Structure 1
Amino acid sequence: MVHQDSTPLTTTSTVEERDRTFRRVVLRIVPFATLVYVIAWIDRANVGFAKLTMLNDLSWSDAVYGAGAGIFFLGYFFFEVPSNLLLQKIGAPKTIRRIALGWGVATVLMAFITEPWHFYVLRFLQGAFEAGLHPGLILYVTYWLPAHRRAKVVAIFMSASPIALLVGSPLAGYIMTYTDGLLGTADWQWLFIIEGVPSIVLGLLAVLLMTDKPSNAKWLSQEQRDHVAYELAEESAGLSGREHKFLAALRTRTVWILILTLFCIITGNATLSFYGPSLVEATFDVDFATLGWIMSGIFTFGWLGMIVNGWLSDRRAEARWHTACAAALGALGLILAAIALAAGSGVGVIASLALSAAGTMGSIPVFWGLPAQFMSGTALAAGVALINSVANLAGYLSPQFLGTIKTATGTYSSGLYVIAGVEFIAVVLILVFISKDAAAGTSRTEQAEPRAEQAAE
């Protein structure tokens, strides 16, 4: 059998030689991609800390904040699929440059908002500019690594979100502690300015530091490029039953189940990102620097959840149960946080949020191993973007819902129960509806393997 780009499924290389090649690939492409994603998450979530003083300075309610925090994801929804399709045409370096420059400038401009509509417009623009970063980098990894080498890498690279939160939380705390009143500017304003500039710098460096595809990698020898091509071709032949056409993929039940599943998970994740500091502050009277370190500790568990769950998923070659069980832990943590909040237990809130972060964030990188079982080519590029963009509407709805509940009732507890219930729906969806499709995808792969081996002979 011959791969669609006419690369034969034969090689004289050993597994050890290809392992060395892929270690080189990982060390080259992953650090910068992860750094870009870390900075993006810092800029996305710093509004959670800015809220602590911004609302009083501007005389805004929690409902205004919730609407502005969430509208970010409307920009995602409208621009994510076009961005990922454009990446296929112009490559990752130019795409990352456009994305990082745009969101960096929008973040800096956040320092100058005075009216709610300023807040809404700039949050929308942040989302619009950042649209495509997450699925674009997922797609970028598929250009370099076959599936059996991808989950750990995606887990590392996706762990950028908890890393950003565990590093960004104390950073935000210190910025707001030591800059308030500097040059007549409020602490939350300095937060947006200082954290927006690195994004602009990374955007300028992207074209210099990123290579779009293995065939253009001058830092690999021809033999090493052949190693990458061989494993990618072998994987493509073994999964020849996947859907390649985007419109055809849209007509499959699985794509919409995946969208709804991720929607439910993101509902919990957005709550942790945008309301974590407020939930802790509701039970602890601490300064910003201390609060930053508390949130850093909570998100450390999110990072560990991603790494450990990704490793376990790779080791057992299984994604469905690892995604479902992690999401269940995330939902349980939110329920416990609501109970602790009602009881006024600060320690209980912190421990519960740590559990929720480990589960919710730990489910996300493993989840992204599922779409490639059913799609490839253009369908995968657009499908991943569609799944992410529609599912991230949860990030639009979740903060608004919690902010409205807080404004109406004066507490976050009842809202947390509802959000926990939504996240638990993801567990039901993935175990009840994804299982048959996943089994079908596995059987197609197993049927294709003998054909690949015959071709190699």
Structure 2
Amino acid sequence: WLNDTEKRTLLDTLDAEQRGFQKSTGSYLQALRSRNVVLLSIQYFLWSLGIYGFVFWLPSIVKNGTGQGIGSTGLIAAIPYAFAVIAMLINGRVSDKTGRRARCVWPWLLVGGLAFYGSYVAGDHFLVAFALLVVAGACMYAPYGPYFAHIPELLPRDQAAPSIALVNSLGAVGGFAGSYLVGWLNGLTNSTDASFLLMAACLLAAAAIMFLVKAPKPTSATANHPVAA
């Protein structure tokens, strides 16, 4: 739907953004040793640890807190995901309109971590604790779109594929670690307190790492054509 001038402007802008990166040799090993890739991998590991601990153990938390049967427990446990759908749509639209991907990632992770900590503080007050878990669930899912749109913007084109693969791989490991550690802590302490603190700490650390990721310096061409910035 773009006219010829708009197409050329967009392509020139994308090329200008790529010139902001250091020259790449195209080596997969170089991509995997990139500072940004390492940081993003650690970040996604911590994020996934929190989110999969939440996903696998939320029904148990709800059942223990309400004493309901499996049907009612399933319906109650679905509430955070309903809010997550709304949050993802809103955050994705904001990200696309503003182009500020990082700002559509770390605040959600920060609020999610604080919500987990609030659930821990709420203790036996199930309604308060669950309301905060709804917030945490929505906040953990909301940044997915902007996050994976942001990664290719931080890397040379020839390094994007292996780098995204590494980030996803560490996320998968974090998912296993989250589901395992939360269950282990719950069994060890006979309480969910320690697991809530673990998930809160992981999300807060993931939010903080976003500030360590360095975007390439824009070239003059990029500055003149902010359409893709």
Alignment TM class, shorter chain as reference: 0.7 to 0.9
Partner of 1:266: 48
**Aligned ranges 1:347-366 → 2 under 5 Å:** 347-366=127-146
Matched with 1:330 is: 112
- Give the Å deviation of 1:337: 2.0
Is contact 1:263–1:391 with CA below 8 Å preserved after alignment? Answer: yes
Q: CA deviation at 1:249?
A: 2.1
Indicate conservation of the 8 Å contact 1:267/1:422, yes or no.
yes
Larger RCO (CA within 8 A; separation ≥ 6): 2
- Say whether the 8 Å CA contact 2:51–2:178 is kept in structure 1: no
User: Larger C-alpha radius of gyration, 1 or 2?
Assistant: 1
Pick the aligned partner of 2:147 from 357, 367, 370. Answer: 367
Q: Does 1:302 align with 2:84?
A: yes
What is the aligned partner in structure 2 of residue 239 from structure 1? 17
Structure 1: 5+ residue runs without aligned partners? Answer: 1-10, 16-226, 452-457
The alpha carbon displacement at 1:363 in A equals: 2.1
Deviation at 1:233, TM superposition (A): 4.1
Q: Is the 8 A contact 2:18 2:156 kept in 1?
A: no
Q: Match for 1:282 among 64, 79, 99?
A: 64
Question: What is the alpha-carbon distance in structure 2 between the residues aligned to residue 351 and residue 265 of structure 1?
Answer: 20
**1:318 counterpart SS class:** coil
Q: Which residue, 205, 215, 221 being the options, matches 1:447? A: 221
1:51-450 to 2 correspondences below 5 Å: 233-234=11-12, 236-241=14-19, 242=21, 243=24, 245=26, 246-340=28-122, 342-343=123-124, 345-431=125-211, 433-434=212-213, 437-438=214-215, 440-441=216-217, 443-444=218-219, 446-448=220-222
Q: SS of the counterpart of 1:382?
A: helix
Shift of 1:406: 1.4
Q: 1: CA distance between counterparts of 2:25 and 2:116?
A: 38
Q: How has the CA–CA distance of structure 1 residues 244 and 286 changed in structure 2, closer, same or farther, with 3 Å as cutoff?
A: farther
CA distance in 1, matches of 2:93, 2:3: 29
Query: Structure 1's 291 and 232: CA in aligned 2 closer, same or farther, altered over 3 A?
Result: farther
Hey, what's the Cα distance between the residues in 2 that align with 1:235 and 1:295? 45
Query: Aligned equivalents of 1:422 and 1:284: distance in 2?
Result: 27
RMSD: 2.4
Give the Cα–Cα distance (whole angstroms) in 2 for the partners of residues 375 and 232 of structure 1.
18
CA distance in 2, matches of 1:247, 1:381: 12
User: TM-score when scaled to structure 2?
Assistant: 0.85
